Structure formats: C-alpha cells, structure tokens
A and B are shown apart, each in its own frame.
Chain A
C-alpha cells in the first residue's frame, strides 16, 4: 500500500474478514477485508444500507463485529479506543450545549487527564486551526451549522488522534459550505498528519478528498470496488476541474450502479426461490 501523503506503508487499520449480523437477523456487512495505511484519506461510499456507517463504528469499537477482527495501530480496536487513538465526527456536530465552544473542544482533553494550562493552550491552537479564534466563549447554538461542524472537527483533533473517523460530517450542510469545509479539511489533514476514514454519499466529495475510495454495495454490505485516486496533492478547488477528476467520478458512479444492478439481480433471485 503506497497511497498516503508521505507514501508511508505503515498500517493504521487492518480489517480482516469482518462481518456484522444484527440481532434482528439483517446482515449489515460480510467478508470485509481492508488495510488503511498511515496518512491515507479513505472514503467509504455506497447506497443506504451498505453498512458503511456500521463499518466505521466497528473500526471505532462502538459496535462489535460478529465475525473477523479489526486492528488499529497493531492493537485491538477496544485497546485503541482506550488509548485515545481516534477522534470521531458525526453528521450532526453533537456539541454539548451547556459547554462553551472552548470547553467542548477541551472535553476529550479533560477525559485524557490534561491539566488546565495545557488544555487551554491546546484549545487556542485548535480554534486557530479551524479559524474560529474569538468564538471560544460562545455557546454552540450561537454558531451556524458549518461553524458547529468545524468545532466538532477541532474537538476530534484536539488530542491528536492518529485516526480520524468521519461519518458524513458535511452531509447536513449546504453545497457552498460543504465545498469550503472540504478544502479546509484537506488543509487540516495535511497539517495534522492524521489518517482519515470518511463516510459519504457524495461521489464528487469522495473523489476530491480521498487518496482511495472504497465502493460498497448492499445486502449484504461488502466492498465491490477499490479506486485509488491519483490526483495531484495538495488538492485545490481547481482539482475539481481536472479531467481526471471527472474520469474518477464516472468510474465510481458506474461501480455504484453495477452494485445496484447486482442488488436487483440478487433480489430477483430471492423472489424466484421464494416463489418455488
């Protein structure tokens, strides 16, 4: 694997033969094998119900896989969570209203036992990183949706986790804000040196951000295609106009449709079996 920013080959996430069947009997994932190298930016894309969020939560030890194993930095996912190895950003900012912006960002630091002086220095740095200096004393509900999401990113990065897990972080934002935050996320990624796993519905977003796009299909959720994105780094707004960008978008769209067709065939076969 040679796709990270540094071209590093150190493995951060090693997923082997992971499957997940929920209690209700639905198989969300089956036979997932994936390795993610240091400093990679990997996007998971696929139709609703393909298990991409579930996979993200399994990497983050928020859900247990039914089969297979996940290693993060060579440790079990559970150990990695205890070691504060990853930061997480959801679609909603999930900020705590009773805490100011600054205290939201310092929450993981408090839990990791940092002292007050180190915390406040770090919060200052993070506010600067997401360009919210001056907003530390605001409450989350005083900020716009895009600003809230930037606070969430600052909070996830505050303790310098080696792995950042993002579950459609910009899905609830308007297109303009989204494109701006995409650029900002890339800047932060370059500056912070972390590895990012990013779940999205948007093909263009996945191509623009990622070093590698994992296309998933549903029923059961599985990896149907892996597309390395070989656009020049660092990406700029103009990268979206690069002809190669469109080629990648087309390739991924076709892979997604292929997956959907396959779904339909499987469903049809199921019907036939049931009819007999």
Chain B
C-alpha cells in the first residue's frame, strides 16, 4: 500500500483555445458535410426535375427571402419564443414540483400517474383551439398553456424516474447517517435525478416552440411566427412560409443548445459530459 502519488485517471486538461475550437469543428464536420449535401441536392433537384419553384423554393431563395424580411421574421420569432419560454417555465416547473411530490408519496403517484399519462395522450392540435378559447387567442397566455401542456409530461416522467431509480444501498447509507427524508432527497435523490431531468428539459425546449406555433395556427397576434407562417401558406407565398419555418427551427435549436449548455455546466461530475 504505497500509492501516495495520484496515479488514477486524470481529467483531460483543457488545451489551448485554438485546439479546443479545432477539435469542436472536427466533431461537427460530418454533420456539416451532410447539411451541405442536402442543401446542394435540394437546390439542384428543383432545377433538374422542373419542380414549380413557388411550391418548393430553393434554399437560396429562402435565404434571400429571409434576408429581405429579416426584421419582421426575427421579431415574429422572438415574439413566439417568449410564449414558448413562458410555457416551458410553467410546464417544466409544475412537472418538477409534481415529480418531487409523487416521488415522496408513492401512493399518490400510483393514484395520479395514470391521469398524467392520459393527459399526455390528448392530441395537442385538438387542444389548441380550446386553450385559445379559454384564454383569448390574442393573448400570450393561451400559447403558453399549450406549450406548458406539451412540456409537462416528459419532464414529470423523467423526474419521477430519476428520483426513484436510486440504488437502495445509497439510501441505506444515508439512513445509517441518521439522515431524514428531506436530507435524502436533497443530497441523494435530487442530484442523481439531474441527468434524467436534463434529458427531459432538452426534449421540452423544442416541444415548447412547437406548442407555441401550433397554438398560433388557430389565431393569434399578427406579430406571431405561427400566424405569419399560416397566412403566408394560405396565400401560396411558400418562400415566406419556409423562411418562417427556418426561423422557428433556429429559435428551437438555439433554445435546445442553451439548455444543453446549462446541463454541461451543472453536470460536470457525470463522466460522459465532462471533458
């Protein structure tokens, strides 16, 4: 027994910034190549097969449309993103609280979980006009409710799963230190649930944006992205509609990446997420 020198696996040291960026670009290279190939094929096949350009605009057309109307499109995107963010906060917040309660009182979970599953089975497209009717279609609240409903279930299920799938010996150990339920939740169940929770939070970030746009399809503020896409499609202005969809995707992806960044920062201890 003489291993006084730290000989265990050392965490990789962060290299020079240039090295790190280089490595990151290398990681993303395959995806970027695929993207370029898809855009090129799309661009060329419209010409090659004589597809009507107003029905399926080329990527370059969509890009130039976006650039011309960027002010309006980004404003609409931001408007809708605020609704998505609000709904996300409500849906996820509620799901986390309910998840904690159900994990603490399992009997309650057995009584309530079937209804949570049933609620998840509601077709959101059918629920959207109802939510609009309840909270006025022109308010942000109605869209937030729709986004919240979409976010709620994945976060609830994953939170519950994370809080309850702790090794029994982890709990026994805490009990041997005379820790009560609150301490066990705070120091063992919640930290070990975090990877599960973040997975759900990432899924929900994209769902929230989708929920807000679906809500806007049944009426909403003129400034909203869903209303814009809908009205442009109904007047056969598909290049504008596509530009709107691209903006929606961009906001959704940015939101996802933001949550993923928070995950990385908070879960440095997980072997797979630390570098």
Chain A interface (Cβ < 8 Å from any Cβ of B): 57, 60, 62, 81-84, 86-88, 90, 92, 94, 96-99, 107-108, 111-112, 131, 133-135, 138-139, 141-144, 147, 180, 183-184
Contacts and interface: CB of A to CB of B under 8 A. Distances in A.
B258 to A, nearest CB: 22
Contact of B169 (A82, A83, A86, A94): A94
Contacts, number: 78
Given A62-B172, A94-B167, A97-B270, A133 B4 contact: yes
Contacts of A60: 176
A141 B271 contact: yes
A177 to B, nearest CB: 10
What does DSSP make chain B's interface, helix, strand, loop or mixed?
Answer: loop
B23 interface: no
Nearest to A152: B173
A209 to B, nearest CB: 16
B173 A88 contact: yes
A19 B44 CA distance: 80
The size bracket of the interface on B is 20 to 34
Given A97-B270, A142-B9, A81 B178 contact: yes
B177 interface: yes
Contact of A107 (B9, B177, B271): B177
B178 A131 contact: no
Given A62-B172, A131-B2, 16 more contacts: A60-B176, A81-B175, A90-B173, A94-B173, A96-B191, A96-B192, A97-B269, A97-B271, A98-B191, A108-B177, A134-B6, A135-B8, A138-B8, A142-B9, A143-B8, A184-B1
Contact of B5 (A57, A87, A112, A134): A134
Interface in B163-187: 167, 169-170, 172-179, 183, 187
A131 B176 contact: no
